[in-house]
Structure 1
Amino acid sequence: MTSGKKIYLDYNATTPVDPRVVEVMLPYFSERFGNASSDHVFGWEADEAVENSRESISKLVNCKASEITFTSGATEAANIALFGFCKRNRYKGNHIITCKTEHKAILDTMNALENEGFDITYLDVDPEGKIDPEELKNSFKSKTILICLMLANNETGLLHPIAEIQKLAGTSGIKLMCDITQAVGKIPVDLNRLGIDMAVFSSHKLYGPKGAGALYISKKNKPEIDPVVFGGGQEKGLRPGTLNVPAIVGFGKAAEIAFEEMDKEAERVRDLRNEMEELLKEIEDVSINCRDAERLPNTSNITFRNINGTKLLRKLNKLAVSRGSACSSNTLRPSHVLKAMGLSDEEALSSLRISLGRNTNEEDIQQAVEEIREAVKNLKAEVV
Structure 2
Amino acid sequence: MSLPIYLDYAATTPVDPTVAEAMTGCLTMAGNFANPASRSHRYGWLAEEAVETARRQVADLLHADPRAIVWTSGATEANNLAIKGVAEALAAPGSHFVTSAIEHKAVLDCYQYLEGKGFQVTYLPPNNLGEISLEQVEAALRPETVMVSLMHVNNEIGVINDIAALGQLCRERGVLLHVDAAQSAGKLAIDVNAMQVDLMSVCGHKIYGPKGVGALYVRRTPPLTIAAQIHGGGHERGMRSGTLPTHQCVGMGAAFALAATQLEADGDHYQQLLARFLAGIQAIGGITVNGDSDRRVANIINLAFADVDGEKLMLVLRELAISSGSACTSASIEPSYVLRALGLPHELALSSLRFSFGRYTQLDDIDRAVAVVREGVGKLRGLSARTGG
- For residues 335 and 110 of structure 1, what CA distance do their matches in structure 2 show? 19
Deviation at residue 93 of structure 1 after TM alignment = 5.6
> Does the 8 Å contact 1:93/1:142 carry over to 2?
no
**Structure 1 residue ranges without an equivalent (≥5):** none
| Aligned mate of 1:8, from 6, 10, 16 | 6
Contact persistence 1:93–1:144 (CA under 8 A)? no
Q: Work out the CA distance in 2 between the residues paired with 1:221 and 1:165.
A: 19
CA distance in 2, matches of 1:151, 1:16: 22
Question: In the TM superposition, what are the counterparts of 1:1-384 in structure 2 within 5 Å?
Answer: 4=2, 6-30=4-28, 31=30, 32-39=32-39, 40-91=41-92, 94-384=95-385
Q: CA deviation at 1:327?
A: 0.3
| Of 213-222 and 98-107, the range deviating more from structure 2 | 213-222
Q: Secondary structure at the match of 2:20?
A: helix
CA-to-aligned-CA distance 1:19-63 (integer Å, 9 cap, x gap): 100111112110221100002111101000000001111111110
Counterpart code for 1:122: Y
- Distance (whole Å) between structure 2 residues aligned to residue 17 and residue 125 of structure 1: 33
What SS does the corresponding residue of 1:192 show, helix, strand or coil? coil
Contact residue 187 and residue 263 of structure 1 kept, 8 A: no
Q: Between the two proteins, what is the percent identity of the paired residues?
A: 39
* 1:193 positional shift: 1.1
Q: How many residues align?
A: 382
For 2:294 and 2:87, locate their aligned partners in 1 and report how far apart those are by CA, in whole Å. 33
Deviation at 1:231, TM superposition (A): 0.5
TM-score computed with the length of structure 2 as normaliser? 0.96
- Residues 78 and 106, structure 1, Cα contact 8 Å, conserved in 2: yes
1:5 Cα offset (Å): 5.3
Deviations 1:351-376 (A, max 9, x none): 11100001101100000000011000
SS of match in other structure, 1:29: coil
**Residue 133 of structure 1: CA displacement?**
2.2
- Distance in 1, Cα, partners of 2:2 & 2:46: 46
| Counterpart Cα distance in 2 of 1:281 and 1:222 | 51
Q: Secondary structure at the match of 2:25?
A: helix
Letter in 2 for 1:333: E
What is the CA distance between 1:300 and its match in structure 2? 0.5
CA distance in 2, matches of 1:221, 1:287: 46
Are the counterparts in 2 of residues 304 and 350 from structure 1 also a CA contact under 8 Å?
yes
Contact 2:317 2:372 in 1 (8 A): yes
Assess, with a 3 A threshold, how the Cα gap between structure 1 residues 93 and 293 changes in structure 2: closer, same or farther: farther
- CA–CA distance in 2 between the matches of 1:369 and 1:276? 7
Superimposed CA distance per residue, residues 146-181 of structure 1 (whole angstroms, 9 cap, x where no aligned partner)? 100000000111000111111111111111000011
* Structure 1 contact 180–199 (Cα < 8 Å) conserved: yes
